[in-house]
Amino acid sequence: MNRPPARSARPARRSKPSGPKRPSGGAGAPRPASDPSRPKPTPRPRSGPAQRSRGGAHLERLQKILAHAGIDSRRKCEQLILEGHVQVNGVTVTELGAKADPFRDEVAVDFRPIRREQPVYIIMNKPKGYVTTVKDEEGRPTVMALLHGVPARVYPVGRLDFQSEGLLLMTNDGELAHRLTLPDHHIPKVYLVKVHRLPPPETLKELREGFRLDGRRLKPCHIEVVDKQGNPWLKVTLTEGKNQQIRRMFEAVGHPVHKLRRVQFGPLADPMLKPGVWRFLTSQEVTALKSL
């Protein structure tokens, strides 16, 4: 009987060349030496719910979001955050560094959601007898009472005291308002000032060159005599805005202010605007403001 041919034996496996064994990764395995040339990763700060990043998220600081929504100036929005009035997705945030996505997160003030408004820019000729705040603790009338038909929540930029009148910028653009009121942002503001008797030339020179008030030297200002009759009118140009600066300056040299009217704020001027009346800025005026 014929037997089937025997199967040939499988060829022996070729052994791999021996080399250094890789560590198994166990607890006792040595760690590879670190490369000193490679930069160490920067640890990400741990923060609240408003600062967690998400794919494609556009994060902004909370105070900036609030200011853009017309809540108030950025500085006052920071105070709202610190006082615990601001929530993001239902969680109260009290850190100024917190961020949120204005298009995805729900940002609220005292649990009332905000909404982003279109920027509005207004110039008003403030009359005497009004304060330049949104609310007044003493119950005095504010400039807000003069606004009718404004499609946004605007607020004053800078201030004019109760007895002063003249041009006042109002907007809901918190970023622009913040920039315009920075101490280092020297925006010229021009005032017509009626004082008691004409100060002598040496006094005007002292005021122009940087008057010392409350132990601090003020920045130089421009003073021009417009009308010398009786109690004269002066044109004063300031590049800083200390509280009631002009009134206190002339009071300190014995020439108190009878009337004070702001006639120019940066590039903005409108001699035809009557007291108590406001209008929207033109696109050219807005561009000029933003270029400061």
189-265 has the same fold as 49-113:
no
Looking at residue 274, its pLDDT comes to 97
What is the CB neighbour count within 10 angstroms for residue 70? 21
Chain centroid to Cα 202, Å, comes to 40
Looking at residue 143, its pLDDT comes to 96
Assigned architecture for domain 189-265: 2-Layer Sandwich (3.30)
Q: Do 125 and 274 form a contact (C-beta atoms < 8 A)?
A: yes
Distance separating alpha carbons of residues 186 and 180, to the nearest angstrom: 8
Q: What is the per-residue pLDDT across 39-48, written as a single tens digit (0 to 9) for each?
A: 444 333 334 4
Tokens of residue 71, six digits: 């809540």
**Strand 165-171 to 257-265 pairing:** parallel
Distance separating alpha carbons of residues 133 and 143, to the nearest angstrom: 7
Q: Do 232 and 225 form a contact (C-beta atoms < 8 A)?
A: yes
Looking at residue 50, its pLDDT comes to 45
Spans of all domains in the chain? 49-113, 121-182+271-290, 189-265
pLDDT exceeds 70 at position 178 = yes
Q: Do 75 and 180 form a contact (C-beta atoms < 8 A)?
A: no
Q: Do 174 and 121 form a contact (C-beta atoms < 8 A)?
A: no
Fold of 121-182+271-290: Alpha-Beta Plaits (3.30.70)
3-state DSSP assignment of residue 203:
helix
Distance separating alpha carbons of residues 15 and 11, to the nearest angstrom: 12
Residues recognised as catalytic: 161
Residue carrying the six token digits 């653009």: 173
Task: Return the minimum-mean-pLDDT range out of 15-29, 51-65, 140-154.
Answer: 15-29
Fold of 49-113: 3.10.290
Residue in 123, 143, 133, 163 with CA at minimum distance from that of residue 260: 163
Task: Return the minimum-mean-pLDDT range out of 5-14, 99-108, 128-137.
Answer: 5-14
Looking at residue 206, its pLDDT comes to 95
Q: What are phi and psi of 75, to 5 degrees?
A: -65, -40
pLDDT band with cut points at 50, 70 and 90 for residue 57: low
Distance separating alpha carbons of residues 180 and 292, to the nearest angstrom: 8
Looking at residue 92, its pLDDT comes to 96
